[in-house]
Amino acid sequence: MVLVILLCIAVDHSFRCETIDQHNTVCFFNSKCRCWTDQDLRHVDCSNANMTDIPNFPPKTDILNINSNYIEVLQNNTFENLTNLLELDLSHNRLIRIELNAFLGLGKLQKLSLEANRLNYTKESFDTAVLNPLKSLLVLNVKHQEILNILPGKMIRKLHYLRNLKTDLVSSTEGVAFGKEFSSFAHLTLLKAGTCKLEMGNNNTFIYLPNLEIIHLSGCTISQFGKGCIFVT
């Protein structure tokens, strides 16, 4: 028996769609996207849709998936009408630049994935203030960028509630992976490394992340362990 759900509710024209089976409902604004509601959360899935540009989405969208497309640039104010958005997945695109005000309006966003793009942490590609509007962000995934470099702490300094960080990891020759600017993240308890190269693992590697409870280093190449250092991966 196929479950059929009618999502074309008269009082909510912004989320109008075709009537077909759940999780395979064609969105009215783009036939390549699927729309559905689950536990009062409105989902839009535009993954694998061969998109090069981001369309306008219904303002009441809660969870938005745009992964595995061909998007290269996030322009200013791209998501400004999505003030209720909780999760945004932009992984596996071709992002080379995120403009300074691209994330304006996303003050409620809790989860952001930029995994597997082509970003580097320069002003031209990914300015240090780009993430500042994301006041409620809990989970950030920026691992597996095309160019291996570490996320600067100043880029996430406004993310006071961040709990889960997934990032590429490169340590200094002394073994320190994160600088002093990371010491202010009181809620950051989980770290997962993507592309990872540690010259040396020692007791200073995560010295500025004192609240970590879980560290995933399964993808790391660790050249040397310092004396007395124990890693559980």
pLDDT digits (tens, 9 = 90+) for 88-101: 999 999 999 999 99
> pLDDT tens for residues 75-90?
999 999 999 999 999 9
> What percent of the chain clears pLDDT 70, i.e. is strictly above it?
86
> pLDDT tens for residues 108-146?
999 999 999 999 998 889 999 999 999 999 999 999 998
Q: Of 21-25, 54-58, 65-69, where does mean pLDDT reach its minimum? A: 21-25
Average pLDDT over the chain, rounded to an integer: 86
Q: Calculate mean pLDDT across residues 200-209.
A: 82
Q: How far apart are CA 209 and CA 228, in angstroms?
A: 19
Q: What is the homologous superfamily of the domain 1-162 according to CATH?
A: Ribonuclease Inhibitor (3.80.10.10)
Where residue 5 falls among pLDDT bands split at 50, 70, 90?
A: very low
The dihedral through the CA atoms of 92, 117, 192, 154 has a sign that is negative
Position 199 scores a pLDDT of 72
Q: What are the start and end residues of each CATH 3.80.10.10 domain in the chain?
A: 1-162
Position 95 scores a pLDDT of 97
The Cα-based distances of 11 to 7, 60, 102 in angstroms read 11, 12, 30
Position 11 scores a pLDDT of 37
pLDDT for 231 beyond 60: no
Position 173 scores a pLDDT of 63
Q: Calculate mean pLDDT across residues 193-208.
A: 83
Position 22 scores a pLDDT of 55
Q: Of 65-74, 109-118, 122-131, 213-222, where does mean pLDDT reach its minimum? A: 213-222
Report residue 105 as tokens.
């309006």
List of residues 6+ apart from 169 with CB closer than 8 A: 150, 177, 193, 194, 195, 196, 197, 198, 217, 220
The dihedral through the CA atoms of 124, 220, 69, 57 has a sign that is negative
Whole-prediction pTM: 0.87
Q: Which of 105, 116, 189, 182 is nearest to 147 (CA)?
A: 116
